[in-house]
Each structure stands twice: as C-alpha cells, then as structure tokens.
Chain A
C-alpha cells in the first residue's frame, strides 16, 4: 500500500451516447493524502459530479486506474464496490438525500445496517453521531420536520457514523442559506482538523477557499 488514500492515474470517463462520445473526464491525475481537505472547483458541466461519482465508487472510470485506500477499483465487482463504499466512504449530497418518512436516528443508523451491526449498537452509535452534531434533541424528527441546515447536519452525521476514511461532499452548502452554509463549513473544517480526510465539490470560490487545497476542473480536465 502506497501512501495516498486516493490515487487517480490518467482517469477518464467517457459517456457513449451512440452517435457521439462525451468525455466528462479526461486524463485526470490526482492524489489525496490522508488528513487532507481538498476542494474540487469548476463551473457547471465541467465534470465535478462525474469525478465525485468515481471517487465515491458509485461509477467506474472508462480509462485509467483508481485506487482507494490501496484497493484498485478495477479488481472489484459491484458487491465489492458496495462493501468499499460501506466501509471507506461517507457521502454528503447537495440535496441531503435523507430517507423520507424516516426519523433522523434511523437515517443515521442506516449505513450501519449494511455493515451488519446489531440494531441496538446501530441506534446507540447513531445517537452519539447526532449528539456530536448538536442534534441530540431532534433524533425522532423526520426530514420534513427539520430545517435545511438541520437536514444537512443529519446527512453529515450519517456520513460519519461508520467512521469512514473519506468524507465526500458534493455541493454541501448548495441548498443552504449563508448562515446554515457557514455552519456546515465550520463543521467540515472542525472535522478535518480532527483528522478526517475530506473531498468537497463546489462551484463557489468562497466555499472552496475554506479547504486547505483546491484543484480546478474545466471541460473534464484538471487545470492548475
């Protein structure tokens, strides 16, 4: 196992639409060390979400190699990818993506379900994760009973409950007002200070400036 948590080498993602081929990513080389806070910045349509999907093992590159925590993705089948996601990655989405009609506690406990953790332990760990994010008094609320900022904090609690090596955030502040957005950014900064590796995607330069390193994407390529 070499040092870096994330190693992309000459990665491309080409969508084959039959008549045309769309290169959403092309020749991407990137290394992310453990403990980094990286922002991937770029305009709309530049390939940020495509990058996020590949980093998050939701999608596979069509060219190049990607190793996460020393594991080359190409060697894994779909179940293997699911297992890697379950153990290594926590997702935070722009649109929160909480399970509807499901309490904050059950939402946060869900990733542990797929790790085979017993129900008692799941709920206990979810409770701890929610309390850490200051939502101890909201555990039985369902998403529609929470503000956007609270929902995003529940989503972050869910991403952290498995203690993943990598936290992936796609526009985590995109749907939030500036106050809630700042709150979430403070949270991410604190998490990184505590040692968590974070890769964040954003088109907002100010948000990106909170990260310790930035890479820019343009037309599917990393620039500067």
Chain B
C-alpha cells in the first residue's frame, strides 16, 4: 500500500474544501471497499479524508419521505423501524449483502460508490479499461461468468479500447433503484439532487467512471419517497452459495395490489449491467393484470430480448428470466 496522509475534517464544508484542495484525495467511510482497493494497488490516494465523524448518520422519516444519511451503517438501516415498515425491500436487499461484520462497517454512501468485483479490475497484471483506460477489457474474452448481459461491451457505442462488461455489485442500490430514490450531493457549488437511476453510469465510452458524481463531491444522504409497495415487495438474490456472495443476478420487485390485481409495479435487476438495471416497461405490462406464472414469464422474457451474453455468462439470460418470475411470484404470493 502506498503511504498516504490521513485527514479528519470536522464538518461537511471542511470535508468538501479539503477534497477540492487535494484532487488526489479520497473520502473514506467504512473502508470495506476502499482499503481492499488500496491494498491491491487499484486505488492509491495520497490523502484519505475520513468522513466517519461527520453528522451524516441519521435515519428519519419526515413528511412524505425517508431520509437516510450517507454515513448510516448498512446494518442500522436494515433494522431501522421506518425502513422495515415502509421500505421492506431495502431492508431485504441490505440483509442479502455481504456479511454481518461488513454491514456493521459499510455505509450507505460507500455502498453507492463501491466498485465492481471484476477480477481483472483487481489484478494489476491483467488488462482492464476501467482501471487503465485504453488497456483493453480482460474479461470480454476471458473469465466472464459473472459479467453483464445488458448494454455491455463492444457494439454498444464503445470499442475495444473502451469496452467494459463489468456489473455493479451492490444489492442495496438495486432495491433503491426500484424505489425511485434520490441522492443528495454536496460540493463546492452547494447541494444538488440526482435520481439514483441517473447516478450510476453505463460503461459506454468512459468505463473508468462508475457514477456521475463530480470530483470532490460528497454524498450526504439518500431519500425515498413514500409508496404503497410494502405489502408486495420482494428482493431475490441468486448466488453461488447461501450467503456472503455477490449476486449472480438479483431482482428487486415492488408491486401495489388491490382486489387480486396489480396496480403499480417497479423492478430493478442486479448483477446484469454496469449499473442497477431498471426494468422500465414492467409497470405497463403488469398494470391491471391478475398475477399468474404465465404472465410473469411473458414479462420476464420481454425484458430479456435485449440481453446479450458473452462466452461464459449465457446462462444469465435464462437465470435472470427465471429470477424475475420467482421474485414476482414471491411478491404476489402465488405459488
């Protein structure tokens, strides 16, 4: 690990001005991702700005929305009363991620900004466009069993030198994407808000960028507006072992039902794209319908028409389709 200087700002304003002063600095929250990246030489900030002491831990429900501070711990969010009762999908997704110990350290902001788990990204000896733009994508013709099937790789406006088929690894962000979350960001220019769907980026052209956060900007909170999905939401995570594994694919399904019919629907998919993948058409396809396995299968296959596999991840197309069906069955309670 490269030696670095450790800074501890006393306020959000100070943190932001430190980040503005030192372009090579990086914020550190729980450190569960950043420290690993530093150990492997993937990140080598000359200064670490420790934000853990900033007052950004609060989780509160006010008026029509749930506001969660960027430093709230994943474990605290998952068990918070308002989260469990109003946004159970988020609690489920958080609990499906990592392990108890990690969730006790990991923060909401860090979770949003965690980097891909693509093995090539983690190994300095292998080519990776995300780590070193222009070096080529090791995964595209390599070990890519866990990689993206939506909007991935060559042929999506990119080229060899800019291809990246990595997936965003977060569970939390998949649920939040389905729930139309807003991200609150502070920078030298003051506060701005971005919908989570616009926060993460596709890999096209600039795979080195995971998000649209500008250099030095600090995430201070996320906000989820109230909805009527609590009764019929389900987070399904398919993985290679029972716990403590990143998703092969995951599905966040949030439905509103009445009188045996679906009246509103949101869905996001994880493990399939460079960002949490919102299934936009689902509301249209399900609205007014009675749940059935046949319907869910149609809905699932519809979205998979635009999926495109690489050599080792072709199974993900069928798996995602099946997972969508399973998640919708669980959310609607049909067997």
A binds B: no
**Could you tell me which B residues sit within 8 Å of A by CB distance?**
none
**Could you tell me which A residues sit within 8 Å of B by CB distance?**
none
